[in-house]
Structures are given as C-alpha cells and as structure tokens.
C-alpha cells in the first residue's frame, strides 16, 4: 500500500532527517515506526501526506506517486491523528468529526449518519456529539480525533504518537479501542511511537529505526523479539525481551497439562493416583461437566472427593489471554501454577513455568 523508494529528506539547515529509506508497508495492517527521538520516524510519516516534501526518492501510495496528487486532495484521502489532537475549539464534537465529509460534499443526512456511526465505533455516547472539545476529557478528545480521521473512510491512517499525552490507564483503553477498530475495519495504519511496548502491542509489523531514518529491522513483533538483527535493536528492545515475547503468545497456543484433576465422587485412591502422576500433594476438583470447583489437599480427601471440601482457586486464566498474564498469575499462586479455563468456563488444565520456558527456547 505504501512504499518508500530511496527517500531522503534534508532540511534547510542541512540536517539530514532521512537518508535513502527503502521500505514497503503492507495494506490492511498496522505498521509501527519505532525508535529513539530524532531517528526520523515522524519525518517519514509526514512525507506520506506531504506535510513535508522529500529531497529525493519517491513515495508510492496505492500505486500512485504522492507528488502526482494535489496536497489537499491527498490529505482528504488520508486520516491523520496526532498527539495534540488538534480539534477545532469553536466546533462541536459532531462538527469536528464531520470536517472532511463536508469538504468532500456529502449531504447532511449522510454526514449525520456517519457521525453517529463513528461515535459508537470509538465508544462515545451520542450526546458527546453536541459538546465542545473543552468539555471533554483527554481520552474523549483523543477518541474524537480518531473518529475525525476515519470520517471519510480513508484507506490509510497516519497516527503520530496519538496516545502519548494521556495517563497510562486511558492509554491502555485507547490502545484496546484501536485494536478493536482495526479488527473491524482493516485500515492501512502507520503508527509512530517511541514506546517499544506499545509497538509490540499494536503492530502487525514493526520498523525499528535509528538516525537518520535508517531501518535497523523490519518484521513482525515475534520475529524481532525472537531474533534482533543487531546490537542496536537488542538494546532498544530492553532487558525484558523474553517477557515481551510471552505477551504475544495466547495461552490457547500451547497445550495445557491435565494436572491432578479428579471429578466429584472419585475414590480416594483415584485422587491419590492423580496427585502422584502430577507429583503434587493436592488435587483439582471438577464437576461432572468439567466445571472448576476448586482444589483440596490430598490429606483432606475422605473416602470420596467431595465438592464441599474444595477451596476456590484465587486466580484463573482464559485461553485468549497471554502467557505473560499467565506468568503473573503463577508468581501469585500458592502452587506456582496457572489454571486455564476455556471460553465456556470449563477446565482445560494447568500451566507451569516449564510451559513458559519452552516457548522461549
């Protein structure tokens, strides 16, 4: 969808922002440009919509050189979200969202319908449309900025550190919202950040950049975390590279052990055999339909396993969650394990530290 072909940018003072950048960004994916301050990631993004012009090379968008399209027309076909948001303070939320559709000549009914659709899409109630930017929280303003960028349904969305000015809780919410929106719409998104954790969370592909605008490595988050291309990438990823890899792997991707599981009504010798096979002195207690009832010490089991004697597990994990979340539960668990439940709440087994270690070798 977007191709940089030998692109260079030299500024008037002689500073080289980008030097011979070759990069092809796939359509329908989030590509994150990540790197330290001054590495050229924002410069590269701003060249796409001609906020600045290249000194050499060319940028091809959907098969067309961006310089062959008038800047105003080009920008109306590209959504743009920035950290400062840039809402018009004298226009309501609805009017801000409607900016590009109105410039494109949409009729009023179509504009109203699109505004209502986008408010719902970004998780804002309809009455927010009548408020002015100063009446909104920072997180709400950022959601409006995303809605405005999507208003004319552009195929490309540029996002320049859009969540950097909000607190960590709101930032996490906005990141989840972007993932949900992208799953539904499959836009081509170029996302700039200096936060490697945000890049790993959001990116289908990541370009790790160094100054002046050099791509040190380009690949999926899993590829980059598993095999950094050089020392620069290794240092930039940080000391917790293994934990970051675990965050990319869903619990459902690995097989859980059955563990010392027994059904209510099982004989004591059956419970003892299950505990011995798992090398534990406790058993998992299940209902006949494999619902998790809890656990009990083997010494507390009478002639048969009873539901009344089961203690609830304080923590459990769903199959769609990550192995990093599983690790967090393991270190908080009395037994150093994590109980895995399926989408319908049935018991699927247990995970141990050995399971996690096997994913990092």
Radius of gyration of the chain (CA): 26
| 216: Cβ contacts below 8 Å, ≥ 6 apart | 35, 208, 209, 210, 229, 230, 232, 233
**Domain spanning 251-359: CATH superfamily:** CBS-domain (3.10.580.10)
Architecture of domain 2-246: 3-Layer(aba) Sandwich (3.40)
**Residue 132: which of 97, 102, 101, 90 has the closest Cα?**
90
pLDDT at 7 over 80: yes
pLDDT of res. 269 = 95
Global confidence as pTM: 0.79
How many angstroms separate the most distant Cα atoms in the chain?
86
Q: Which helix (H) or strand (E) holds 286?
A: strand 282-286
H helix intervals, 77-165: 93-97, 99-103, 108-121, 138-150
- Of the listed ranges 40-44, 203-207, 299-303, 348-352, the least confidently predicted one is 348-352
Average pLDDT over residues 102-131: 93
pLDDT at 357 over 90: no
pLDDT of res. 148 = 92
The per-residue pLDDT for range 20-75, each reduced to its tens digit, is: 999 999 999 999 999 998 999 999 999 999 999 999 999 999 999 999 999 999 99
Average pLDDT over residues 273-295: 93
Q: Which residue has the tokens 């668990």?
A: 333
Q: Determine the 3-state secondary structure of 55 from DSSP.
A: coil
Q: Give the model's confidence band at 82: pLDDT under 50 very low, under 70 low, under 90 confident, else very high.
A: confident
Cβ–Cβ under 8 Å, residues 123 and 142: no
Q: Give the model's confidence band at 361: pLDDT under 50 very low, under 70 low, under 90 confident, else very high.
A: low
CA 260 to CA 277: how far, in whole Å?
7
Q: Of how many residues is the chain composed?
A: 361
The per-residue pLDDT for range 217-267, each reduced to its tens digit, is: 999 999 999 899 999 999 999 888 888 888 888 888 888 888 999 999 999
Peptide bond preceding 77 in cis form (omega within 30 of 0):
no
Q: So where are the chain's domains? A: 2-246, 251-359
């Amino acid at each position: 969808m977007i191709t940089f072909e030998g692109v260079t940018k030299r500024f008037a003072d002689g500073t080289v922002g980008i030097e011979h950048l070759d990069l092809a960004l796939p359509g329908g994916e989030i590509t994150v440009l990540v790197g330290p301050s001054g590495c050229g990631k924002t410069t590269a993004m701003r060249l796409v919509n001609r906020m600045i012009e290249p000194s050499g090379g060319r940028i091809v968008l959907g098969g067309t050189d961006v310089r062959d399209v008038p800047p105003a027309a080009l920008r109306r076909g590209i959504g743009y979200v920035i950290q400062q948001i840039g809402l018009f303070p004298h226009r309501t939320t609805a009017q801000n969202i409607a900016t590009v559709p109105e410039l494109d000549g949409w009729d009023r009914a179509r504009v109203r319908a699109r505004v209502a659709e986008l408010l719902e899409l970004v998780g804002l109630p309809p009455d927010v449309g009548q408020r002015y930017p100063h009446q909104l929280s920072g997180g709400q303003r950022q959601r409006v900025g995303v809605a405005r960028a999507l208003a004319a349904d552009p195929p490309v969305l540029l996002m320049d550190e859009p969540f950097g000015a909000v607190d960590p809780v709101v930032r996490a919410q906005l990141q989840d919202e972007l993932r949900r929106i992208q799953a539904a719409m499959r836009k081509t998104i170029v996302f700039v950040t200096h936060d490697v954790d945000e890049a790993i969370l959001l990116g289908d592909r990541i370009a790790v950049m160094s100054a002046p605008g050099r791509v040190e490595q380009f690949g999926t988050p899993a590829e980059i975390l598993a095999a950094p291309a050089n020392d620069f990438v290794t240092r930039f990823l940080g000391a917790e590279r293994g934990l970051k890899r675990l965050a990319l792997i869903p619990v459902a991707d690995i097989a859980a052990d059955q563990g010392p599981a027994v059904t209510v009504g099982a004989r004591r010798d059956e419970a003892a055999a299950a505990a011995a096979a798992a090398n534990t002195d406790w058993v998992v207690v299940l209902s006949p339909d494999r619902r998790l009832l809890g656990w009990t010490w083997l010494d507390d089991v009478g002639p048969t396993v009873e539901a009344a004697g089961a203690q609830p597990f304080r923590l459990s994990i769903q199959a769609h969650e990550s192995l990093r979340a599983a690790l967090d539960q393991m270190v908080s668990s009395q037994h150093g394990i994590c109980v895995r439940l399926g989408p319908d709440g049935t018991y699927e087994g247990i995970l141990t530290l050995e399971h996690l270690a096997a994913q990092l070798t």
